[in-house]
Amino acid sequence: AELTKLTENYVQGLQWVLYYYYRGVASWPWYYRYHYSPMISDVKHGLGADMNFTHGQPFRPFQQLMGVLPDRSKSIVPTVYHDLMTNPKSPIIDFYPRDFELDMNGKKQEWEAVVKIPFIDETRLLPAMATKDPFLTEGEKIRNSFGTTMKFVYDKNTDFTYPSSLPGIFPDLDHCKCIENIYELPTMDGLDVYVGLIDGVKLGASALAGFPSLHTLPHAGQLGFHGVSIFQSESRNESMVVTLLEGEEKNTATTARDYLGKAVHVNYPFLQEVKVISVTDEMFTYTLADPSQPATGANVQQIPHQPHSMSDFKRKANRIESTYSKRLGMIIGSVESLIQVEPLVGLRKTESGATIKQYAPIPGVEPDYATQTVVGEVISEDQRFLEKEALPMSEEFAIGTKAFFLGDMAYGRPLEVTGHSADGEKAEVWVSTLTVREQEFGHNIAQQSEGRDPYYPSYQVTKMLHLHPLVLSKLTSAFNVNSSGLRLNLGLNLKFEAKKLKVLGYSRKGNSGWEYSRKAIDLLAAYMTKFPEFIATIAANPQGDGWEDTTFYSDPQVAKQKMKEIGAWLKSNETKGFDRVPLEAEQLDETTVKLIEAAADKNNNAAGQITGKKINNIPRSALLKPQDAEQRTAGQRFTIGDRVVYVLDSGKVPIAMRGTVVGLTRTPRAMLLDIVYDFTFMGGTTLNERCSPFRGSTVPSDAVLNLSERQVLSLSAAAAARQPVQQSLPLRGAGGARGGMNGYGPPGAQLRPAAAPGPLRGSFRGAVAGVGMNGHNVPRGGGSGPPPMNGNAPRGNGFVPRGRGGLGSAAAPQQQPLNNGAPRGNGFAPRGRGGNRGGYTMVDNSDPTEGVVRNNTAFQPQSYNNAPPPAGLGEGGRGRGGAARGRGRGRGGRGRGEAAVEG
């Protein structure tokens, strides 16, 4: 009988939801009377439920609050009701229990638990509240009444100041252009719900973008025992298994190569547009030599795989095939080739005014897809991403168009188009300019904050607090203790390794591990001082786990009380309310943000008047329309402290509002900026209590223009001419030979054709290893190595391999073979690290003091490495900078310079 009541109540709930969405509220007083839903197999017992709902009426505001709030939140409702929530003699005191059961079955966090508190019975709640209603103030009675639904309609001819509804909290709305009218909510009376799909709806392969369909590829379905993975375990029952009918026909590299450079759709059946960059099979990678040309003939490059690349391909192919099979229940056939893609990330506005699609890699998104799952063309393209040709200048930037200036003189300032040039290709604009140039202040304040509030690595913190590293790790993260059937988190929650989160102003993760600020260290010290027994118990067993409250205090009553004291202390320090941000996020703390606010206020007060300036012959590239801003500002770089201006005509931030970046958060698809603006605005926030009210906002990076680092700058010819020219070092001729004047000259004087190498002597294996026919090493680059021990002179043709400290000039008297014969070749001078003087290097590894009788015990060995060179040493020319020994640029072979050969 009870099961029937539960299932009937559940079926009523299903019907109530359907009525709500298609007809409106069927019953205000109805509610589901159980903490748990029935098993799906038991729902059949409730199919005979009574569907005749009583419409009733909604709760008034205070009645609704009294039905959902606990007694600890009584301050939200008027004082006259507090007695009903706290007085033990209250007729509804059982609605507000202090102790209640949490069902944690199958749950990990407390907020996931089933809270088993009594349901509110309106037949008891409303009469109890009625006894207190006469004591409400007039203002409270107005707040507790049903209001009127209002409709606000924009009217461009209206302009007035709308007074603040909360003076001192909200500002007045200047230049309000809205008309306020009473809005009658529509009803379904006299209307019938259309059952089924309307005419003209697109289904299957014709479905609109974003609506997945299996029909975009030929397939067949069949029930079978396939072991599809559901919640990390294989299904033991039958599953509908989909098989791609052309999986084995279209899995070849030949099919895949036809997609190179084209836009296709992947991730079947949840299609996503991408551009194919390369194709791989087990042996080769295929790319386009010229991406602007089609994938035909010689334009397709075939690059062989290294051995590890072959195993990588097999691993990827097997993983993709297994994912489709075991995760999606789809047989796609063997994966013989893969495509590598760049996803469509949006549209981009070119300088000529055309709108084109933009493809780019997305971090964390898989770039490899099986060829047989590719959909080459779709019937319904995504209307949001259609490429368009450029409009005429006079049409795109008509007179009266408001935009932003991207020229050097007033970068990021608002403008209005006032006319066009005679040919219609340029615009005449009126630019809003500042009489006093705005000062940069954000970067300096951000750098000062880093020095003012340093972070200390974990090992240093453990030494400062005399803590075991594991104890520090437990205290700074979530530390769970079981007490009276509840799992209490008694950690400071300063780091979240698994969630990749840190606490702003307290912790961060560097290259060497976790680091903590002085505030975090002080909080740890306070914890240790306040509860020394608790900390000492953890320190006695730093590797312990599964902590019970009686582990710390043997008396259960004392343990329970102490756990409450620790929890209350943590709550008083608001450790659970700390601002958690991703590890890679860069954020300034509250103190530094307030300093930036003060600097912005000072900058505003010192700013001069705003004036206008007329500028002629402005090209399209120097104008930024708010509607096109996201297409042109994407890809900008930002750092903490950058000055920015909001350039969109939508969103919570007023257009042209300027501010300073105080936080950066990178997501896989976008970069989000925390910005504190120069002025307050209605949609502003406090950035989690870091800035003043109504002054902060988090926006995508493409919603603003970076004023500190100008990256969308459009320079005029005169401004471009004033830009500094990048200097570059020219090439120098080989062997110290100089082309042109002092090594500078045309390419022909610098680059000289080399003779073809001689025939290969010896084996190929020996040539690769650097061994000639007689077994001697051959230096890389074509020249001979050190002379062999038989006294034969080195052979060469003047080749000078680069290195450090090679041989001297061929003309130098020191460079003689061991048999004192003349050197062969044309002045070969090998240059290698630690060169030699006679063709080979002797290395003496013996002990120089071996066999020496120490008659003088006070004798100390001395080094003579710093002795000055002989007076005639410079005659042979051994280094850079003439005859001097060392690293000067000279003509000698020893040292770091070229070995010049002079005849």
| Nearest in space to 281 (alpha carbons), one of 203, 335, 362 | 335
Q: Lowest mean pLDDT of 110-119, 531-540, 599-608, 791-800, name the range.
A: 791-800
Quote the pLDDT of residue 887.
44
Q: How confident is the model at residue 725 (pLDDT cuts 50, 70, 90)?
A: low
The number of beta carbons lying within 10 Å of the beta carbon of residue 202 is 12
More confident residue, 849 or 445: 445
Query: Model pTM?
Result: 0.59
Query: What's residue 85's pLDDT?
Result: 95
CA distance 503 to 520: 10
* 380-409 average pLDDT score: 92
Better-scored residue on pLDDT, 738 or 605: 605
User: Identity (one letter) of the amino acid at 373?
Assistant: T
Average confidence score pLDDT of the chain: 82
Q: Considering Cα of 633, then 639, then 643, then 645, what sign does the dihedral take? A: positive
Contact (CB, 8 A) for 538 and 474: yes
**What local confidence, expressed as pLDDT, does residue 773 receive?**
46
Residue 308 makes CB contacts below 8 A (sequence gap 6+) with none
Tens of pLDDT, residues 837-893:
434 444 444 555 555 555 555 555 555 455 555 555 554 444 444 444 444 444 444
Q: How confident is the model at residue 351 (pLDDT cuts 50, 70, 90)?
A: confident
Strands 480-483, 486-489: pairing is antiparallel
pLDDT at 184: 86
pLDDT interval class at 15 (50, 70, 90):
very high
Report the pLDDT value the prediction gives residue 210, as an integer from 0 to 100: 87
Question: pLDDT band at residue 109, thresholds of 50, 70 and 90?
Answer: confident
Spell out where 653-752 has E strands: 658-666, 671-677, 696-700, 704-706
C-beta neighbour count of 264 within 10 angstroms? 20
**pLDDT tens by residue, 483-521:** 888 889 999 999 998 888 888 889 999 888 999 999 999
**β-strands 239-244, 330-331: how paired?**
parallel
pLDDT exceeds cutoff 80 at 818: no
> What's residue 39's pLDDT?
93
User: What's the pLDDT at 778?
Assistant: 45
pLDDT at 498: 86
Give me the pLDDT at residue 847, please. 52
Instruction: Assess contact for 265 and 378: CB atoms under 8 A.
Output: yes
* Average pLDDT rounded to a whole number, residues 298-313: 91
Assess contact for 831 and 802: CB atoms under 8 A.
yes
Instruction: Name the band, by pLDDT with cuts 50, 70 and 90, for residue 23.
Output: confident
Q: Are 100 and 117 in contact (CB under 8 A)?
A: yes
Q: Count the Cβ atoms, other than its own, within 10 Å of residue 569.
A: 15
Any idea which of 139-143, 694-698, 789-793 has the lowest mean pLDDT? 789-793
Q: For 486-517, give the secondary structure using H, E and C.
A: EEEECCCCCEECCCCEEECCCEEEECCEEEEE
Distance set, CA 431 to CA 396, 416, 435, 581, 628 (Å): 18, 7, 12, 40, 19
